[in-house]
Structure 1
Amino acid sequence: MTIPTPFTDGYDKAFLLENMMGPNAMRVAEEMASFLTLRPGMRVLDLGCGMGISSILLAEKFGVTVFAADLWIPPTDNFRRFAALGLEARIIPLHVDATGTLPFAEGYFDVLFSVDSYQYFGADETMLPKLLPLVRPGGEVAVAVPGLLRELPPARKPWVGVSGLEVPPELQPYWVQEMDGQFHSLPWWRALWEQAPGLRLGPCREMDCLRRAWADWLESPHPYARRDVSMMQAEGGKHFSLVQLCGQRM
């Protein structure tokens, strides 16, 4: 049987490298979308879409209508990006702060989707119950976040840094305090989502595209990508993971 070439592999690589904000969100979105039931005309909220390459994947490959919501990237910038690709009718750019009041009707979306952003606002027990009502009963929720293969224990003694965790020496030069609350293991995230009322948990797994998504990012000219090259060399595949969480609103 012939295995189809991933949509991402055939995409304009220069465009992707220019518009990445971390490990290749289009590649991550494509793998996670394979676990969902996506049909043309569905409404998808892509929450924390960044420069919208995950939204582009959803609109182009699956024909869904995407609400591309982000806090940091101006919607005008994203609109121009989408319009240049002829996608202005299928992707609606929005400025949204997930921690604030959300401007959406309950039950409006068929799918809530988020790549490489949910860890910034969703790593507590309050966020998923807040977001879930936006999805119709029977609709799906899918989130991909950077994570760890194992939880880091509390620090046994102070080290030169600001973390309260026992960060491996090779990661200490790159670790910042905010990562304490954002980087977690698959079991940690699964346990958090199991607490959410009205959610039927689906495939929760470590994603296969971790290394390829990171390799794509490290080719980007973005200054953060240049910084991350030495971090990934030091990490050497020993600590980082890419966590996928899926579920269905009951």
Structure 2
Amino acid sequence: MSDITSRTPHDDLASRLTHPRYPRSNRYDARWTIENQMGPHALWLLEWLAPALGLDALPAGARVLDLGCGRAMTSVFLAKEYDLQVTAADLWIKPDENAPRIAEAGVADRVLPVFAEAHDLPFGEGTFDAIVSIDAYQYFGTNDLYLPTLTRLLKPGGRIGVVVPALRDEPEGTQPPAHLEPWWEPDFWCFHSPGWWRRHWTRGGAVEVEAADWLPDGWRDWLLWCDVVAEESPEEFHRRMAREVGEMVRVDEGRALGFVRLVGRRL
């Protein structure tokens, strides 16, 4: 079993990714986070979400669904940092790929990897104390009917918390912000403002929205991470994607792009 929370004191890469806002994430091996990333720094985003979601207040062994867990970094973090029982659900990364990673992190007794599509989740009503989704919910959660279906999996009063890439303001008309047009992809239309997300969750009637806020200087975190991944990722595809996204974030300088944190309590 590898110790993913060990740090080399003079490790330049670890120093580069040490962030005063994310003390828990700082304990994790920087190389491990780079090798298992699938987008923005998922541990940083989860650590930002955690206090608003009340993860510290959950009892040990509480059941949490990590929806769209990717390579299960966030699931490992939830188990290690908060002593939770985590169902690590993903469509693209299969359970037999995540299981060895989870075992090597020493949390095989607390994290169960499962194969699941977000619109066909094989869980019963009231199964979970909380639901978490980091950099995934935007791909399936913009449908007006989705949240009421998903939150039935929560116990009454349970919370759902997500962090998504976002736009500071909703674009007018059918065109993206002009300075982002060279990089704009149709998928980016799933990026929305804090106000849009608050309305979207409120009018569905499934949750009381407790947070819908913007990460201050989140673009700087995003850019730093892109620059490091572009240099250090062992996968050429991820290096190329990080360079492209990094160029967009660098030009934007926080004018439009960032992250939104959403927390809702099941009514």
Instruction: Identify whether the pair has TM-score above 0.5, normalized to the shorter chain.
Output: yes
Residues 1:34 and 2:42 aligned together: no
Residues 1:241 and 2:258 aligned together: yes
Question: 2:16 corresponds to which residue?
Answer: none
- Distance between the aligned counterparts of 1:109 and 1:229, measured in 2? 36
Letter in 1 for 2:84: V
Greater RCO structure (CA 8 Å; 6+ sep): 1
- Distance between the aligned counterparts of 1:4 and 1:127, measured in 2? 32
* 1:114 aligned counterpart, secondary structure: strand
Question: 1:103 corresponds to which residue?
Answer: 122
State the 1:178 CA deviation.
2.2
Paired residues in the alignment total 236
Bigger mean CA offset, 109-118 vs 212-221: 212-221
CA contact (8 A) 2:207 2:264 kept: yes
Question: 1:179 corresponds to which residue?
Answer: 188
Question: 1:189 corresponds to which residue?
Answer: 197
Letter in 2 for 1:240: L
Residues 1:126 and 2:139 aligned together: no
State the 1:214 CA deviation.
4.2
CA-based RMSD of the aligned residues comes to 1.6
Among residues 201, 209, 212, which one is paired with 1:201 in the alignment?
209
Q: Which structure 1 residue ranges, 4+ long, deviate > 6 Å from structure 2?
A: none
- Distance between the aligned counterparts of 1:166 and 1:25, measured in 2? 29
* 2:246 aligned counterpart, secondary structure: helix
Question: 1:169 corresponds to which residue?
Answer: 178
* 2:131 aligned counterpart, secondary structure: strand
Question: 2:171 corresponds to which residue?
Answer: 152
State the 1:197 CA deviation.
2.2
Q: Percent identity?
A: 36
State the 1:49 CA deviation.
0.7
Gapped regions of structure 1 (runs ≥ 5): 155-164
CA contact (8 A) 2:226 2:243 kept: no
Question: 1:11 corresponds to which residue?
Answer: 28
Question: 1:141 corresponds to which residue?
Answer: 160
* 1:34 aligned counterpart, secondary structure: helix
State the 1:4 CA deviation.
9.0
After TM superposition, the score normalised by the length of structure 2 is: 0.84
After TM superposition, the score normalised by the length of structure 1 is: 0.89
**Can you list the C-alpha shifts for 1:107-163, whole angstroms capped at 9, x where unaligned?**
010001101000000012111011010000011110111100110111xxxxxxxxx
- Distance between the aligned counterparts of 2:217 and 2:86, measured in 1? 23
